């Protein structure tokens, strides 16, 4: 059966909207009709080569939809079930998994090298980050689908697959924000807005949003920011002025650029925690001198997929949605079609908006 999809023919090439022939699901596979797919900065990074994937590929890794068919051996979902796509399923047996650090699974992206579909002319296609969500339908490993808990709108649920898991996990699992602590969030895109909401849920007392554009202030404050700072070389000084000259207890960097990582570090109080969520290129080098590392006593840590276990955390997030603490729709600034994804990429490059959501 043919479906429409956004195909990346080569690294750096424009996306092509074309028909894709999907096979029936085989043993251990599930076919999903997408309701929506979020356009994440990681998709842009895959498109331009900052992150590498086999091509040609169908990108898109943040999605939700309805199961339309299952292969032999699939028991945890059935036809008609609403599901969230999990682009990084853990294998359960590698070193990281045995340590309980499933977000670092060595085999999580093995499926991205598989051929999962073909174009009309017979060209093999790979599933971007395992799930190929920039398509009307997809066929994935059963490990890549999670049952969607009740009470979460299916379209908005797409955001649970990456932005919200990442932002929530950065606050609750990586930085471990405690009630009453102060938090600075660098970058107010989709992940940044989810991080702001998560800091509010965690009970942070002061939540400072930092971004390069004044247009995002309203979005940031709606997500929970108590203060908004326009990014500049004076950002650390401004943040210290808002925190009794101490700096924040926690900084979360959601951009992936050397200048913002350094600013997040300098905005953190002595003994505080700086968590880097943003994915930067190899050319983004951050330097520290030995004396400042000793003197400031700060902790600098990376954060992969929010250090989350999606099977554990999606039900928790669903409860926050049902109780009104987490507003998924507030993260979405544009509802678009497949044809609009290149424009969404351009907006991300320009630092505009929150999350663009492809609605099928």
Rounded CA-CA distance 175/2 in Å is 44
Could you give the residue range(s) of every CATH 3.40.50.720 domain in the chain? 164-305
* CA-to-CA separations, 264 to 267, 316, 343, in angstroms, rounded: 5, 28, 29
Q: Which of 45, 2, 27, 15 is nearest to 256 (CA)?
A: 45
Could you give the residue range(s) of every CATH 3.90.180.10 domain in the chain? 2-161+327-359
pLDDT at 104: 97
Rounded CA-CA distance 255/240 in Å is 21
Say yes or no: domain 164-305 is CATH 3.40.50.720: yes
User: What's the CATH architecture for 2-161+327-359?
Assistant: Alpha-Beta Complex (3.90)
Q: What is the pTM of this model?
A: 0.95
Interhelix angle for 341-349 vs 41-48, to 10°? 90
pLDDT at 316: 97
Are the C-beta atoms of residues 112 and 128 closer than 8 Å to each other?
A: yes
Rounded CA-CA distance 14/79 in Å is 34
Tens of pLDDT along the chain (360 residues) come to 799 999 999 999 999 999 999 999 999 999 999 999 999 989 999 999 888 889 999 999 999 999 999 999 999 999 999 999 999 999 999 999 999 999 999 999 999 999 999 998 999 999 999 999 999 999 999 999 999 999 999 999 999 999 999 999 999 999 999 999 999 999 999 999 999 999 999 999 999 999 999 999 999 999 999 999 999 999 999 999 999 999 999 999 999 999 999 999 999 999 999 999 999 888 999 999 999 999 999 999 999 999 999 999 999 999 999 999 999 999 999 999 999 999 999 998 888 888 999 999
């Amino acid at each position: 059966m043919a479906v429409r999809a956004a195909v990346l023919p080569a690294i750096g090439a424009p996306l092509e909207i074309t028909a894709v022939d999907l096979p029936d699901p085989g043993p251990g596979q599930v076919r999903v009709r997408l309701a929506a797919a979020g356009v994440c900065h990681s998709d842009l990074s895959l498109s331009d080569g900052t992150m590498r994937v086999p091509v040609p590929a169908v990108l898109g890794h943040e999605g939700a939809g309805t199961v339309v068919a299952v292969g032999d051996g699939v028991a945890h979902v059935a036809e008609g079930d609403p599901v969230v796509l999990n682009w990084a399923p853990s294998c359960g047996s590698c070193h990281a998994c045995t340590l309980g650090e499933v977000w670092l699974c060595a085999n999580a992206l093995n499926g991205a090298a598989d051929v999962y579909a073909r174009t009309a002319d017979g060209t093999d296609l790979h599933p971007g980050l395992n799930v190929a969500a920039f398509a009307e339908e997809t066929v994935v490993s059963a490990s890549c689908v999670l049952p969607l808990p009740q009470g979460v709108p299916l379209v908005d649920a797409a955001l649970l697959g990456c932005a919200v898991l990442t932002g929530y996990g950065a606050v609750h699992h990586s930085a471990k924000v405690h009630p009453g602590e102060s938090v600075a969030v660098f970058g107010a895109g989709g992940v940044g807005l989810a991080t702001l909401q998560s800091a509010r849920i965690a009970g942070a007392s002061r939540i400072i949003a930092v971004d390069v554009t004044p247009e995002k202030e309203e979005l940031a404050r709606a997500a929970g920011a108590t203060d908004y700072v326009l990014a500049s070389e004076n950002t650390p000084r401004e943040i210290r002025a808002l925190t009794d000259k101490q700096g924040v207890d926690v900084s979360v960097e959601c951009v992936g650029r050397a200048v913002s990582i350094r600013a997040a570090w300098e905005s953190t109080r002595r003994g505080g925690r700086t968590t880097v969520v943003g994915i930067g290129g190899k050319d983004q080098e951050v330097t520290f001198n030995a004396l400042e590392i000793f003197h400031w006593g700060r902790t600098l840590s990376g954060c992969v997929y929010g250090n989350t276990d999606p099977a554990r955390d999606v039900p928790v997030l669903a409860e926050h949605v049902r109780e009104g603490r987490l507003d998924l729709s507030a993260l979405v600034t544009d509802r678009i079609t497949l044809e609009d994804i290149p424009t969404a990429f351009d907006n991300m490059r320009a630092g505009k908006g929150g999350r663009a959501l492809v609605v099928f």
